[in-house]
Amino acid sequence: MENHDHAFTLSIDWEEFGQLLGRDHTGVVMPAVPKTIDRQTDILLSLLDETGKKATFFILGMLAKYRPDLVKKIAAEGHEIGMHGQHHIRMNTLSYKEAQADLSDSYKLVTDIIGSPIYGYRAPYFSVNETNLYVLEILSELGLVYDSSIFPVKLKNYGIADFPPEDTLYQLPNGKQIVELPLTIMNWRKKRLPVAGGGYMRAFPGFILKKIFTKLDAEKKNVMLYMHPYEFDDRWISCSTHYPPGKGYSKPKSFLINIRWNLFRGTIYNKVKYLLKEYHFITCLKKAEYVKDHSHSPAILGRSQ
Ligand SMILES: [Zn+2]
């Protein structure tokens, strides 16, 4: 069997920022998804094709509903399809029943589109924390093999302090098991720092990123990169076209959002391309199966920690 003792994974939370922002701002999900998602998905698929690597796409239900053709296209290129929930609402703000409905709706929609089961999940905003670990039980009951939603460091809006940063097979209170693939952190001066997301790819100069990933690789860490389609867009993107008439943001607010979307974003493509060429990449599912096959006994995870 191929050795995946330490490997990199590129995970894409497949969503359209304009659609999300429009829904959050107006309360309405507009069926006409901006065409930017076509361009961004194509850029990503070409990059993966060119570098010969496979990625995992966590598909957002409210986008897939209107663009099943794109989900099929991603699956047809051999990438892993996972789910990103239906409505992109923080899971820790939902009741158990609401969380269950969001996850089962998302599961049904995505599996119906691709015509085969899916095995993994990423929560919006990494919103599985010590208050809602039952999400993992819901996932296991849907038949999922792994989750990749937990940030093993406490940050402002998410994360669990001291959660084990290693990929681990857990025994759950409902008697089932699940593999957790936490988001990558780096130990630096006795602190845990997140390093592998789009924001960091954008902010750190290339030479610093090279050092970070060389260090993680030398330490034989599993690296989970987490990105979004818009981060690969090769054009200026604007939030102003994504709303029902008359419902857009004010000009100053639009300006700030557009700056946040676009500043230094153009550097991300080459940084990710470098990593794809340099390191051993496998999908989340391969990683999770490897962890499962190599676990002597599962760790115990309670309902809360
Ligand atoms: Zn998301």
pLDDT, tens digit, 9 for 90 and up, residues 102-153: 999 999 999 999 999 999 999 999 999 999 999 999 999 999 999 999 999 9
Q: pLDDT value at position 43?
A: 97
Domain-located, residue 305: no
Centre of ligand 1 to C-alpha 251, Å, is: 25
Report the percentage of the chain scoring pLDDT > 90.
68
Centre of ligand 1 to C-alpha 225, Å, is: 14
Domain-located, residue 97: yes
Residue 254 confidence class, pLDDT cut points 50, 70, 90: confident
Domain-located, residue 2: no
Q: pLDDT value at position 286?
A: 97
Tell me the longest C-alpha to C-alpha distance in the chain: 59
What amino acid occupies position 235? Answer: R
What CATH number has the domain bearing residue 76?
A: 3.20.20.370
Domain-located, residue 34: yes
Domain-located, residue 1: no
Q: pLDDT value at position 305?
A: 45
Q: Report d(CA 89, CA 103) in Å as an integer.
A: 11
Centre of ligand 1 to C-alpha 149, Å, is: 11
Domain-located, residue 3: no
What's the pTM? 0.95
Domain-located, residue 63: yes
Cα–Cα nearest to 236, from 24, 40, 15, 63: 40
- Residues 66-83 have a mean pLDDT of 98
Domain residue limits at 196: 8-300
Centre of ligand 1 to C-alpha 66, Å, is: 17
227: tokens are: 């990105």
CB-CB contact of 91 with 122 (8 Å): no
Centre of ligand 1 to C-alpha 245, Å, is: 25
> Worst-scoring range by mean pLDDT, 70-84, 112-126, 192-206, 270-284?
192-206
Question: Phi/psi of residue 186, each to 5°?
Answer: -120, 140
Cα–Cα nearest to 122, from 177, 84, 69: 84
Centre of ligand 1 to C-alpha 218, Å, is: 30
Tell me the CA end-to-end span of the chain in Å, nearest whole number: 35
Sorted by sequence, the CB contacts under 8 Å of residue 47 that are 6+ apart come out as 232, 269, 272, 273, 276
Q: What is the mean pLDDT of the chain?
A: 91
Residue 35 has pLDDT above 70, yes or no: yes
Domain-located, residue 94: yes
Residue 22 confidence class, pLDDT cut points 50, 70, 90: confident
Report the percentage of the chain scoring pLDDT > 70.
96
Number of folded domains in the chain? 1
CA distances from 34 to 10, 38, 67, 266, 267 (A): 24, 8, 11, 20, 23
Residue 302 has pLDDT above 80, yes or no: no
Cα–Cα nearest to 6, from 278, 289, 282: 282
Q: Please give the full DSSP string across 25-51, using - where no structure is assigned.
A: HHS---SS--THHHHHHHHHHHHHHHH
For tokens 């599962």, the residue is 298
Q: Report d(CA 255, CA 240) in Å as an integer.
A: 9
